[in-house]
Amino acid sequence: MEEIPSENIPPVNLDPFVARLLEQPLEQGQLEAAWAHCEQLTATSWYPSFLHNRRFVKATLVMCCAKQQWRLCEEILRQRHIDMTSKTVARMIHTLIGLNHHQGSPLTISGRQIVRAIQSFERILNIQLNMYTVTKIMRYLGQVKPYKKIEGSAAKKRSLKIDDAYRLYCWVRGEIGIKHHKSRSKLTVTGRASSSQLYLTMIDIAMAHNRTDLAERAWHHRMYSGSHVSSPTIADFRPANLFAYNLLLNIYANELPAPNLDRIQRTYRRLIQHGHTPDVITYNTIIKALVNAGKATTAMDVLESMVASKPFHYPGSSPGEGNADNEKRCIQPDQHTVNLVLQGWVDHRNWSEVEGYVKRIQELDLVRHFDIISFNIMVRGFLHLDGQLLAEENLYKQVSEWSSVKRLQRSAQPFPLSSTAIWEIFESTTGHQRHHLLTCLRENSVHPCPTNERYQGFQEMFHLNGTDPSTCKLFIKAFSLAKDPRAASLVTKWMFRRPPSEQL
């Protein structure tokens, strides 16, 4: 135990004591040791002098929040003799979050504690964190992956859930109180509630968690957030522009396991009825939704309508509804459009349709849009990897829902390819042979692995000079499904040792 200042001898400078007894243990994640020192310091007769020291007050407040001593925290905030700004509060929240990042830390700071600390600081100090800090904390609270990979029940305790990010979002909008989270009749936070950054951040977090309901709710909140110029308690309606409609379409298009095409169709009709002209982002989002729903033929119809400079109409919709400018505007497909439709045909596993699509792209002089993404889509099709299934599995892994991962794996069809077949696909697409990889790794060569010139034509169609790590990850996944961990390990080592000249 460190030496505590004597009660009869006032310390000349408190900073060294605070730094050694409180700040240093906190930086090392030793919360209990710092808390024991703090209790000893507060028991001395010089405790009122400590309340005049900024470093002591800040460290004590952080520990109170970590120990959930909210009454003591609010008491110190009211009795403080120092000024605190929003930057001061932001640094304390950063220190509080940092306690989660120490290996072997006995206490995990939950997202609810972080939000509760922000509420106490803002309410008592009558200050507000700026929007950059708020959104940064929201993304931390709503992050999909835990900070450290922990197995079992500890992973659930360490993982920060989307509910905590949404709780902070509601607080910033002025919807909930400090204790019982009861709804308020009017918005009380003015400047931050009218910032689009708040709503776009919440939408990103909700989409990452596949929470379409929360993303849709945040979208509607953004429309009704208003500018709060005339009155700080009145939220006026903000008409949706083309960007807002494209954002809502994207929310529906990314829903797993399948997008809600009915909502996409209704949103697209509203977009047209309100006089907006769809752009390439609108069409690409619709194509993505159709591809994710397994409707490659309809997605191709959208692409053909773009090439023909005609507006796309959903089946059953009236061709005459909407803005007359839609009939005049020419929207050419871009790289994203070509790749999305290619993905739809590849997912059908009908290679004659894929060949017909490639020929059609060549006729339309759009083959210039083929790139490494197109190449990887083709490789994924060759390897019989289901993109939607992989996306859903990755989502469950990121939120540590291992029971859902096992359920997906049990329901999946047996992997149809052998390790030998995968190596043949590897050679025909990348141009590298297995013994070339072994030789390069054994010799630790800095030169590129030899390439079979017979297969360079396939890569040339996609304007490539080599592969990228995403291509290697597809083969690693395929070898893992084929129960060949040695081959997966070989490709992994090769992926990380390739010289810069082979990287795209």
Q: What is the pLDDT of residue 1?
A: 44
Does 25 fall in a domain? yes
Total domains in the fold of the chain: 4
Domain boundary among 212, 235, 258: 235
pLDDT digits (tens, 9 = 90+) for 91-105: 999 989 888 765 455
C-alpha distances (whole Å) from 484 to each of 18, 428, 456, 491 are 56, 19, 27, 11
Q: Are residues 221 and 254 in the same domain?
A: no
Residue 308 lies in a domain: yes
For the CA atoms of 230, 233, 236, 241, the dihedral, rounded to the nearest 10 degrees, stands at: 100
Which whole number is the average pLDDT over 262-278? 92
pLDDT reading at 9 higher than 70: no
Q: Return the pLDDT at 283.
A: 94
Conformational region of residue 107, where left means phi above 0, alpha means psi within -120 to 50, and beta covers everything else: beta
| Average pLDDT score over the chain | 79
Q: Are residues 251 and 315 both part of a single domain?
A: yes
What's the confidence (pLDDT) of residue 400? 67
Please tell me whether residue 265 adopts helix, strand or coil conformation. Answer: helix
More confident residue, 211 or 185: 211
Residue 238 confidence (pLDDT) above 90:
no
Domain-embedded: residue 89: no
Instruction: Give me the pLDDT at residue 120, please.
Output: 93
Spatial neighbors of 260 by CB under 8 A, at least 6 apart, are 212, 252
379 closest CA partner among 501, 496, 485, 470? 470
Q: Identify the CA nearest to 233 among candidates 200, 176, 184.
A: 184
Q: Does pLDDT of 180 surpass 60? A: no
**What is the percent of the chain with per-residue pLDDT over 70, rounded to a whole number?**
75
The answer on pLDDT for 406 being more than 90 is no
pLDDT at 486 over 80: yes
| Rounded Cα gap, residues 120 and 68, in angstroms | 12
> Are residue 360 and residue 404 in the same domain, yes or no?
no
Same domain, yes or no: 309 and 226 = no
Reported as a single tens digit per residue, the pLDDT across 101-140 is: 654 555 578 889 999 999 999 999 999 999 999 999 999 9
SS (H, E, C) 64-82: HHHCCCHHHHHHHHHHCCC
Q: Quote the pLDDT of residue 468.
A: 81
Instruction: Please report the pLDDT score of residue 13 as a whole number.
Output: 65
Asked if residue 93 is part of any domain, the answer here is no
The tokens for 141 are 């609270």
What is the spatial distance between Cα 248 and Cα 220, in angstroms, rounded to a whole number? 9
The domain of 212 spans 127-146+157-235
Q: Is pLDDT above 60 for 182?
A: no
Mean pLDDT, rounded, for 431-443: 78
Q: Is the pLDDT of residue 399 over 50?
A: yes
Element (H, E) at 95: helix 86-98
Indicate the residue among 215, 235, 255 that finishes a domain: 235
Same domain, 361 and 406: no
Q: Of the candidates 376, 362, 356, which has an alpha carbon nearest to the alpha carbon of residue 459?
A: 376
438-462 confidence digits (pLDDT tens): 877 776 655 555 555 555 556 677 7
DSSP for 188-211, written as a single string: ---TGGG-HHHHHHHHHHHHHTT-
Q: What is the pLDDT of residues 357-387, one digit of tens each?
A: 999 998 988 888 888 899 999 999 999 888 7
Q: How many percent of the chain have pLDDT more than 90?
A: 36
pLDDT at 315 over 80: no
**Residue 502, pLDDT above cutoff 50:** no
CB 381 within 8 A of CB 128: no
Residues 289 and 170 in one domain: no
Kindly state the DSSP code that residue 308 receives in the 8-state scheme.
Answer: T
Residue 414 lies in a domain: yes
* SS (HEC) of 108-164: CCCHHHHHHHHHHHHHHHCCCCCHHHHHHHHHHHCCCCCCCCCCCHHHHHHCCCHHH
pLDDT score at 264: 94
Identify the CA nearest to 486 among candidates 422, 392, 424: 422
Domain-terminating residue out of 167, 202, 235? 235
* Peptide bond just before 450 cis, omega within 30 deg: no
Mean pLDDT of 479-498: 86
Supply the pLDDT for residue 28.
Answer: 79
Residues 231, 300, single domain; the answer is: no
Residue 379 located in a structural domain:
no
| Each residue's pLDDT tens digit, 36-61 | 888 887 777 777 777 788 888 888 89
pLDDT value of position 455: 55
Pair 250, 307 in one domain: yes
- What is the gyration radius of the CA atoms in the chain, in angstroms? 29
Residues 412 and 477 in one domain: yes
Mean pLDDT of 153-181: 66
377 inside domain: no
Find the mean pLDDT for residues 466-483. 88
Contact 259, 253 (CB under 8 A): yes
Specify whether the CB–CB gap between 74 and 60 falls below 8 A. no
Based on the fold, state whether residues 260 and 349 are members of the same structural domain.
yes
**Structure confidence at residue 110 (pLDDT):** 87
Query: Residue 62: inside a domain, yes or no?
Result: yes
The CATH number of residue 261's host domain is 1.25.40.10
Residues 219 and 260 grouped into a single domain: no
Same domain, 277 and 352: yes
Mean pLDDT of 394-404: 72
